[in-house]
Chains A and B, each alone.
Chain A
């Protein structure tokens, strides 16, 4: 167990280190003035240029610069955006929770729709209902996320005018940024019309959530269905059947848990796909998350922001993936590393 922990810990540390080195190298690879790429400040005078170069140790060796980068990184001094001159760490703290929020919504939808439908479909496989579920899941899985989002906008926002297009909550509600999660922020803002604000936030969340939840739901359905089919053919199920248990008893006592165990980690790993999709969809719905923020930074050639944003997203996905892998392995040490549920 401890050996396993150390192994995963090592893996994580080494990968993180590689990521940090890569992010350190980025400003040297970006086009433009190195000093601006590193500091985010366009020097207005030679004096300032010299002072900045000194502060960022550009006159010293790369190793010394890397040392400084590391210590800045860990002390929370991430520099400023070259376009807005705002503190990058603060900006990321503002944007990242919004992405997480969207991911959580989508994960909830995928879990509460995908898993039950997958079970039902798996139990009654190869009948017309199952075929239609499978068809839906293939279509859903193959849908380009951004196109689906645009389709939703055309139908629900522009044609039917049911739902708003952009943002997390109407700007008329004075929701102050505190935690970055709009649900909590509405509560903390103490508005007179909290209920309206929640309804409004819900209306804003529906389309972005659905846009990214469709792919994940389709995946969840397929994993669950396959796993249920496998489990229900196992010997102990047949044995239980022969003892005269009802189908219902068999499924809830034996089938349910056994079908879920192999797929849960795989489902958890979908979070990183969700984040990627969320970052795409954010741009379409102007959802003020990290994806929206990064794209703006890319448009504006804001290299310090691109560097910091890339690092944060990569670190998050990495940490998440390794942690889930570790928990899976720790819970089920017999499992071979290569064992995966089939789609």
Chain B
């Protein structure tokens, strides 16, 4: 092995893998981040709720090591606020929030979207979390995927919420046939093993 190869290997080994969780609000990013963190470190990253835009700042969990036999993937997980094209405080009122509180939430959510997108410069891989009970063909998903392709960032489409009765992960597969789609339930950890296997292949 030449000195040059040695250097390349050294850098490869030290290359930090940062995996960002991106997707619509309420698609289950934080639930998935918590599931991964709980599986491999035993603790949660952030709090999840059914009110959209619960995560409004980027949350980071450093050094998660997942193992499968000889495979090992060492990465930081970056949980980002949900990306939307329209944020309307009135949508939060039905969850019992006061008007002022809802308006503040909308403002923070908008700031969160910009922060989430800025973090794309620092991630080396992305889990695009899609709610399998909704139509995946949205402007947000298409724009994010297009941008990830342009930036050459490897990504996995995670078809989440397969525990729900009206979930249709096959629709996501048929809409994004050229991309890797893994159906999971982040809530009860169903099929996350499959996801880890794909993560070894994609992000190592």
A binds B: no
Q: Which residues of B contact A (CB under 8 A)?
A: none
Mark A residues whose CB is within 8 Å of B: none
